[in-house]
Amino acid sequence: MFLYKKCEVCGEKINKLQKLRNIYTLKMGEVLQCKYCFTYYKTNKIVESFSSIYINTGIGIIFWFIAGICFAILLPTTINQNVKFIVALLFSFIFLSFINFIIACVIPLHKTQPPQKIHKQSFIYWVAMGILAIILIAFFVGFLGIKF
């Protein structure tokens, strides 16, 4: 029952993962709403501040590379080094996504006031972030000298 929060007003179950992105955004202060009584729930400020530090300092990317290096060490040596590194980074991404899923499941939610204005990022913003991620990955691949 970790995926649900029982509404304090009407008693209905609120799915914490109403959207797939809640795996990542719930700890950053994403607001959930009960479908029946329209009560809003959110994490507390301490969790939001730790999440903000985690994201703004780039610790998540550092953990991703550390996990990738650990997976690269654990993979067999018969695989091509370039393919081995890419597979290790993929495994580390899946591993860290699983960790974020566990955090989203156990994170406490508290009743809050209705948000003044829910600010949603536009599609263009997410496309730009995707392009930036591709550029960063290409930079690191070039920096590490991985040849395809």
- Read out DSSP for 102-129? HHHHH---EEEPPPS------HHHHHHH
Report pLDDT for 148: 57
Report pLDDT for 117: 66
Q: Which residues contact 8 (CB under 8 A, 6 or more apart)?
A: 39, 111
Give the mean pLDDT of 27-31: 79
- DSSP-derived letter for residue 34 is -
Question: How high is the mean pLDDT of the chain?
Answer: 79
Of 98, 85, 103, nearest to 2 by C-alpha is 103
CA triplet 127, 88, 26: central angle to 5 degrees? 50
pTM over 0.75: no
What percentage of the chain carries pLDDT values higher than 70?
91
Report pLDDT for 91: 84
Report pLDDT for 25: 77
Give the mean pLDDT of 109-127: 76
